């Protein structure tokens, strides 16, 4: 369990699941380092948290983690401020929804860097200190997209499969160290994710960011590992893919994320 008075770094904290991680950790008395690109949203969240929890320490760091050098620059700033990081929540990420041949190659590179590269880089820089102290943990946000390839979301699904595999391997490496490692795999959630893709899909059964963050923190508290899927229906779907032939799995996955048809004006 993350203790009162400890410090958690949360990436992608300006909205959605990341914001809910920040709110729920703040309610536990956990000091925060909030990271996102949108300084206005981060500052607004900080003001709200400090009003609700007057003794809470909150540090805001704006950064674009789709830039390869961002993780190193952030950890240098953390070192300079003397902050000891007890928990890292790698939540920042985005997805695209197109045939791969129609994707902007530069956007694909940013997606991989944010979803995978910076997640690994931050973990690589902050995990050694946790292991040396024998406490703390890393919670990486993957997705139910990690459990199967998804045509029209090829890069996103592959990036989340990487996150899941990487995190589960770290869990195996850190067992018995006092450091907890967990991959949280949400299904469709009411966040800005769909706005960023520019497509409307998976409109039914979306979970709330509050629920998803709560599932992640409860699993982290319990030492559950190496991964947890939020929601019974999502767990059944994620496990069910194991029993489908690969071709049928991809056809089903593509149908599941098919963009809604727009109605003529």
Can you give the pLDDT of all 265 residues of the chain as single tens digits? 788 999 999 999 999 999 999 999 999 999 999 999 999 999 999 999 999 999 999 999 999 999 999 999 999 999 999 999 999 999 999 999 999 999 999 999 999 999 999 999 999 999 999 999 999 999 999 999 999 999 999 999 999 999 999 999 999 999 999 999 999 999 887 876 756 766 665 656 778 999 999 999 999 999 978 999 998 888 777 777 676 667 776 676 677 777 654 433 3
Q: In what order do the strands lie in the sheet with 7-11?
A: 58-62, 31-36, 7-11, 87-90, 137-141, 180-185, 227-229
Query: 24 with 53: CB under 8 angstroms?
Result: no
Buried b (16+ CB within 10 A) or exposed e, 237-263: bbeebeeeeeeebbeebeebbeeeeee
Give the separation between CA 29 and CA 53, rounded to whole angstroms.
8
pTM of the model as a whole: 0.88
CATH 3.40.1360.10 fits 7-256, yes or no: no
Q: Tokens 């629920």 map to which residue?
A: 211
Q: Which residues are catalytic?
A: 156, 160
* Boundaries of every domain in the chain: 7-256
Give the separation between CA 94 and CA 79, rounded to whole angstroms.
27
Beta bridge partners of 58: 32
């Amino acid at each position: 369990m993350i203790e009162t008075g400890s410090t958690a770094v949360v990436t992608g904290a300006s909205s959605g699941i990341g914001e809910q991680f920040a709110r729920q950790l703040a309610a536990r008395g956990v000091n925060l380092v909030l990271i996102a690109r949108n300084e206005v949203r981060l500052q607004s969240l900080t003001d709200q948290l400090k009003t609700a929890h007057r003794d809470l320490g909150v540090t805001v760091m704006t950064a674009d983690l789709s830039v390869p050098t961002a993780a190193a620059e952030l950890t240098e700033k953390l070192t300079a401020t003397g902050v000891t990081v007890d928990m890292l929540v790698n939540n920042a990420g985005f997805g695209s929804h197109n045939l791969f041949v129609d994707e902007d190659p530069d956007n694909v590179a940013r997606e991989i860097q944010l979803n995978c590269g910076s997640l690994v880089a931050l973990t690589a820089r902050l995990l050694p200190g946790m292991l040396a102290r024998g406490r703390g943990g890393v919670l990486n946000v993957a997705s139910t997209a990690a459990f199967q390839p998804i045509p029209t979301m090829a890069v996103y699904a592959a990036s989340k499969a990487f996150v899941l595999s990487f995190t589960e391997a770290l869990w195996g490496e850190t067992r018995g160290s006092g450091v907890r490692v967990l991959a949280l795999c949400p299904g469709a959630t009411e966040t800005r994710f769909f706005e960023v893709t520019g497509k409307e899909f998976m409109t039914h059964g979306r979970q709330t960011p509050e629920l998803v963050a709560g599932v992640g923190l409860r699993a982290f508290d319990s030492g559950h590992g190496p991964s947890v899927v939020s929601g019974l229906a999502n767990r059944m779907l994620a496990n069910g893919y194991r029993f489908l032939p690969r071709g049928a799995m991809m056809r089903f996955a593509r149908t599941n994320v098919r963009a809604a048809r727009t109605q003529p004006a």
